[in-house]
Chain A
């Protein structure tokens, strides 16, 4: 192998590693230990579509212990309970709070 080829290969490999590292980051799950649950929710639910439309991220707030509240593009205001599960969170007990109290208490928190 020629010297100039070795150098080129090194640079190219370094470039590939950098690219791969930077490319992997968008798909990495946010580290929940480094942020508040409300921020984790904002980061992970940006593309979620619910039966009442998309979640309006600017409206997400923590309104109680393990209880988040948010609004949807469909005009509903919801509260959801969460518990820590693995590297993320498990969401359950979604309740619509802007029209009466319809409580649905599953999936069960684990």
Chain B
């Protein structure tokens, strides 16, 4: 009885053939799959690219307009807002230069109280750091609302073009980075400087002048003791000199000086805040636009993946 020939050479030949057959089929299937996948990917990429180009036509003009108008508008709003405070500084200058204020100041027990008195007058008539911060918040809120409305409009326009729902939510970045902290310092420092300016230019209090006269009279006593007939004219002359100093200080245009100094500082603060805010807003809007571009890119990629199947 003949045994079937199961020689290793025949078996190996068979296995090789089977292997090559399987490999061939797999290879062809793989190639077809890869081709289909590549074709789908290419079509997806083309679709996403077309959609992005389409989106750019809607987004870019809007973004350019936002960058060109909003930061400048914010700057001007801040400067205009400070304009009113500069006008009101005149009343502050009149108050701190009034004799009644000088007397009130002289009645303050310590320098700290005097400073507080000046500061209170400044806050009442000109501006406070809190008011500035509040105003900046209001402007940021207004601009934020406008940016939101623009973005919503952009999404609606794209939804209509593509006959689908483009959602624009999800931007979580807070717009100003460390702006609040930096501006806080700037505002506080500028206002302190303005108050200091006013504090250094106070009206000479009549009471302090009177006490100088009294001191003069006391200094004249030894002279009076020696030669009474000379004492009165000497005392009067000295007193007149002290009063003269008071008069000269009154005549030296303190109101105008204080008004010019204070308003100059407030105006400079307004200008600087406006410029800083403008630069910061430009940066923040740039970041927002970058996020919007990425959001639309992600949307078009997702859309193209669902719209173009492999087969």
- Tell me which of B87, B94, B99, B263 contacts A24 (CB under 8 A): B99
Chain A 40-55, CB-CB to B under 8 Å as 1, else 0, gives: 0000111111111000
CB contacts (< 8 Å) of B82 on chain A: these are: 50-51
Instruction: Collect the chain A residues with CB atoms within 8 Å of residue B256's CB.
Output: 46-47
Q: In the complex, how many angstroms separate the beta carbon of B106 from the nearest chain A beta carbon?
A: 17
The digit string for B245-280, where 1 denotes a CB below 8 A from any CB of A, is: 011001101111101100110011011001000000
- Interface size of A in residues (CB-CB distance below 8 Å): 41
Q: Does B86 count as interface, using CB distance less than 8 angstroms?
A: yes
Interfacial chain A residues near B246, Cβ < 8 Å: 20, 23
**Which segment of B34-42, B145-153, B229-237 sits at the interface?**
B229-237
Instruction: Report the minimum CB–CB distance from A110 to chain B (whole Å).
Output: 10
Chain B residues, CB < 8 A from A48:
86-87, 89-90, 259-260, 263
Q: B84–A93 contact, CB under 8 A?
A: yes
CB distance from A42 to the nearest CB of B (A): 11
B58 within 8 Å of A (CB atoms) = no
Which positions 58-93 of chain A face chain B at CB distance < 8 Å?
78, 80, 85-93
Of the 9-residue stretches B73-81, B156-164, B183-191, B287-295, which lies at the interface with chain A? B73-81
Give the distance in Å from the alpha carbon of A104 to the alpha carbon of B83 in the complex: 10
Q: A20 touching B247 by the CB < 8 A rule?
A: yes
Who on chain A is nearest to B244 by CB? Answer: A19
Partner of A45, one of B87, B99, B243: B87
Question: Which of chain A's residues have a CB closer than 8 A to the CB of B270?
Answer: 51
Indicate if the CB atoms of A92 and B84 lie closer than 8 Å: yes
Set A19, A49, A92: member contacting B267, Cβ < 8 A = A49
Does A33 have its Cβ within 8 Å of any Cβ on chain B? no
A73 to B82, CA, bound (A): 16
Q: How far is the CB of A72 from chain B (nearest CB, A)?
A: 9
Looking across the interface, which residue of chain B has its beta carbon closest to that of A91?
B87
Q: Are A9 and B236 in contact (CB under 8 A)?
A: yes
| Max count, chain A CB within 10 A of own CB: residue among B76, B253, B270 | B76
Interface size on B, residues (CB 8 A): 49
Query: In whole angstroms, how far apart are the Cα atoms of A87 and B76 in the complex?
Result: 31
Contacts of A12 in B (CB 8 A): 236, 240
A48 to B82, CA, bound (A): 12
Smallest beta-carbon distance B177→chain A, Å: 25
> Which residues in B have their C-beta under 8 angstroms from that of A5?
229, 232-233
- Are the CB atoms of A107 and B94 closer together than 8 Å? no
Closest to B274 in A: A51
B91 within 8 A of A: yes
Which of B77, B84, B90, B250 makes the CB contact (< 8 A) with A102? B77
Chain B hits for A45, CB < 8 A: 87, 90
A86-B88 Cα distance, complex, nearest whole Å: 13
Residue on A with the closest CB to B135? A106
Does the CB pair B84–A91 fall under 8 Å? yes
**A36 is an interface residue with CB less than 8 A from chain B:** no
Task: Judge whether B271 and A51 touch: CB under 8 Å.
Answer: yes
B195 at the interface (CB under 8 A from A): no
Contact across chains for A94 and B83 when beta carbons are under 8 A apart: yes
* A49 contacts B83, C-beta separation under 8 Å: no
Cβ A94 vs Cβ B81 within 8 A: yes
- Chain B positions within 8 Å of A2 at CB level: 229
* 0/1 string, B219-244, CB within 8 A of A gives 1: 00000000001001100100010011
Q: Would you mind naming 7 contact pairs between A and B with Cβ atoms under 8 Å apart?
A: A20-B247, A20-B250, A44-B91, A45-B90, A48-B260, A51-B80, A102-B77
A interface residues with partner B (beta carbon < 8 Å): 1-2, 5, 8-9, 12, 16, 19-20, 23-24, 26-27, 29, 44-52, 78, 80, 85-96, 102, 104, 106-107
Residues in B lying within 8 Å of A, measured CB to CB: 73, 76-77, 79-91, 94, 97-99, 127, 131, 135, 203, 229, 232-233, 236, 240, 243-244, 246-247, 250-251, 253-257, 259-260, 263-264, 267-268, 270-271, 274
